[in-house]
Amino acid sequence: MISSKASLLLIAPALALMAGLFMMPLGYSLLWAFREEEAQTWGIGNFLKAWEYYSADILFSLVIVTLATALIAGFSLAIAGYLTLGRSGWAVTLLRWLYRWPLFIPFVVAAQVMRTFLAKNGMMNNALVELGLLAPLQTASYLDWRGIVITFVWKQTPFVTLLVAGAMAAMDRAMIEAAQNMGAKRGRILLGIIVPQISRTLMVGLILSYVTMMSVLSVPMMINAQQPTMLTVDMAWRINAYGDYGVANALGFIAYLMTAGVAWIYLRGELQTRGGAA
């Protein structure tokens, strides 16, 4: 058995790297969000300027990421549920083989793929025109907020599905088989028996996806080159165009609060669950 001192020595390099490469830059950025360089003082001037210029983008980011997270939850449950309860062997095998592909595609490549797919003259509209479902004049570009949501959902659903499907596979199937023997439909089994048991795993996957989507720069920059846009684009713009690190840090602080709020809700639920179990 490894002693506590040996354990500390083993994790010390990882802790040092985390402190030096993540915690220190994060703390510096959060602290200097309150630094007003022009007035050479400390205050909330950067936050007031950030809200004055980018309040619409803050709300836009919140709505986009929340909507994408809700859709990811629905699609991941549907896919994982079919992998667990599906009766067609070839369909389950094909779905299991297909749904993981976006996991191996970087966000910047996913954004370029969606630009090709969702543009007015893109692959999706051309396919619909060829099938006779749309006339050429009826086609429209989806390179706006819809494109961002579609890209986020397409990219992050496999990650959450992988976690949820693993949790479903680890469940005791006795209750599922008993429900099936009593004639319960698959939708009722999924929502009434399976989802309550894997809800914690689902929540972890959704929170990680929420945080990831809040930090992505390439997708909103390549798909939605208009206002409103997401906070990451605004932060890049303040730094590259104006060298204004104060407002950029303030926007980063606001994004951090948005993700910290989700983490707080999860931790509060976990503590209540553990307290109830104890």
Residue with tokens 């001192």: 5
Report the pLDDT averaged over residues 39-47. 89
Cα distance between residue 64 and residue 145, in whole Å: 7
In the three-class reduction of DSSP (H, G, I as helix; E, B as strand; rest coil), residue 217 is classed as coil
Q: What is the residue-averaged pLDDT of the chain?
A: 89
148 close to 230: Cβ distance less than 8 angstroms: yes
119 close to 205: Cβ distance less than 8 angstroms: no
Q: Model pTM?
A: 0.88
Write out pLDDT tens, residues 228-238: 899 999 999 99
Cα distance between residue 215 and residue 256, in whole Å: 10
Residues in the chain: 278
228 close to 56: Cβ distance less than 8 angstroms: yes
**Domains located in the chain, CATH noted:** 42-273 (1.10.3720.10)
Among 14, 72, 49, CA closest to 204: 72
Q: Which of 59-63, 248-252, 264-268 has the lowest mean pLDDT?
A: 264-268
Write out pLDDT tens, residues 95-140: 888 888 888 899 999 999 999 999 988 899 999 999 988 888 888 8
* CB-based contacts of 117, cutoff 8 Å, min separation 6: 123, 124
In the three-class reduction of DSSP (H, G, I as helix; E, B as strand; rest coil), residue 44 is classed as coil
